Amino acid sequence: MKRLMVLIGSIVIMFSCQQADKPAQAVEDMEPDENAERIQTDSISGLVIDENFELIRGQCTACHSAMLITQNNASRDGWEQMIRWMQKDQGLWDLGENEPKILDYLSKHYGLKKKGRRAPLTDVEWYELKDEL
């Protein structure tokens, strides 16, 4: 029981710290952001839930973890190349009429990100570390 109370206290403190720099706002004053896209993910697989979720879960996770999908991003062509590789080298079956739906889902939810890593550092004066030993 004591551990549970400590855990709950820790969660409350973390939430409070995250909210500290935000202005207070009454719940009834809040309006939903109409431009915000509401994406639901499956609590077990982590895959985005949409009309093709069951198809993806059935076809893709029959052989590998959903994490292989969620940790990758590729263009539609990139996902198609991965499917061709899986068919050629890994024994993936012909996806038939489901392939366009699968590619639509993957490129929509796990497509190329508009923003990636930061730009490389330039014009930096590096200094040599001296071995003190």
Within a domain: 39: no
Within a domain: 8: no
Within a domain: 70: yes
Q: Number of structural domains, the chain?
A: 1
Which tens digit of pLDDT belongs to each residue from 68-99? Answer: 999 999 999 999 999 999 999 999 999 999 99
Beta bridge partners of 48: 41
Within a domain: 34: no
Question: Domain of 94?
Answer: 53-109
Q: Say what angle helices 53-60 and 99-109 make with each other, to 10 degrees.
A: 100
Within a domain: 9: no
- pLDDT at 8 (0 to 100): 62
Within a domain: 126: no
The least confident of 16-20, 23-27, 63-67, 97-101 is 23-27
CATH number at residue 90: 1.10.760
Q: What is the C-alpha separation between 3 and 20, in angstroms, rounded?
A: 26
Within a domain: 104: yes
